[in-house]
Amino acid sequence: MQTSIFTLNCNGKLITINHPIVMGIINTTPDSFYADSRKNTVEASLMQAEKMLQQGAAIIDIGGQSTKPNSLKIDTVEELQRVIPSIEAVKKRFPDCIISIDTFNATVAAEAIQAGASIVNDVSGGLMDVGMISTVAQFNVPYICMHMKGTPQNMQQNPLYENVTKEVLDYFIERTNTCSQAGIQDMIIDIGFGFGKTIAHNFQLLRELSVFKILQKPILIGVSRKSTIYKTLGITTEEALNGTTVLHTIGLMNGANILRVHDVKEAVECVQLFKAYQA
């Protein structure tokens, strides 16, 4: 089975994606939906980063603004206070670590890059801060562009589509053109599972994930422990690891290149088994 090969220039360090890779989540927030992902001190972030890197994470994704449904938007100063110390500490302790900053705020993205991040992960695709696209282009770092219908505050209030896959694809065609014209060299697309989508929408997008290969960009999926899993199974977020692994497997089968996860060890094992299956 032939796999597309992508390269990402992360501030001079090249990542080659010739097989799926894993991104580990560190939330420097008090309110992210999965409690175990919340690391509210620099030491806690360092310990989690060390654990994830040892388990095989290729990227560590650090964010200080919760984007769960109905989350409260914090100001720039507070977001910077949450993320910059952890980014600086992780980069100092693990200088070869690739860090992405999870933010839709251009000022935070710029400060984070200067502190040691080398990828920007933006849930809004540049639509919540008009300065984001030009900032990413200026620093010449890879950009994870996600699809979200609405904002975290209103995205789950009855999201409607005529055809979710077609509408999300149209969005990415427009966004990839915009990013390319702005000078962004490396772009990753994130379908945005759970961001302005019903459970049925999420399953349709997962089923039809291979459609997005037409964009010729790495595809990132973020399904880890989300409500699509725990609501479908009638369980809690804490019990959703097995279901996460099932959806990761389906995602890999349908073309996912990056898994954004809370549980690195299990995701890495999933990728290893998928590679053995492909061989």
Q: How many CA atoms lie within 13 A of 198 on its CB side?
A: 10
Total count of residues recorded for the chain: 279
Whether 260 is catalytic is yes
Instruction: Say which residues have a Cβ less than 8 Å from residue 204's Cβ, sequence separation at least 6.
Output: 164, 165
What φ, ψ does residue 269 adopt, rounded to 5°? -65, -40
Structure tokens belonging to residue 113: 């890059």
Structure tokens belonging to residue 274: 């998928």
Q: How many CA atoms lie within 13 A of 87 on its CB side?
A: 28
C-alpha 29/C-alpha 24 separation (Å) is: 15
Strand runs (DSSP E) across 134-237, as ranges? Answer: 143-146, 187-190, 219-221
DSSP code of residue 140? T
Which H or E run contains 258? strand 258-261
Q: Where does residue 128 rank: exposed (0-12), middle (13-18), buried (19+ CB within 10 A)? A: middle
C-alpha 196/C-alpha 259 separation (Å) is: 20
Whether 226 is catalytic is yes
Helix ranges restricted to H, the chain: 42-55, 76-93, 106-115, 132-139, 164-182, 199-207, 227-233, 241-253, 264-278
Annotated catalytic residue, options 93, 226, 231, 265: 226
Catalytic residues: 226, 260
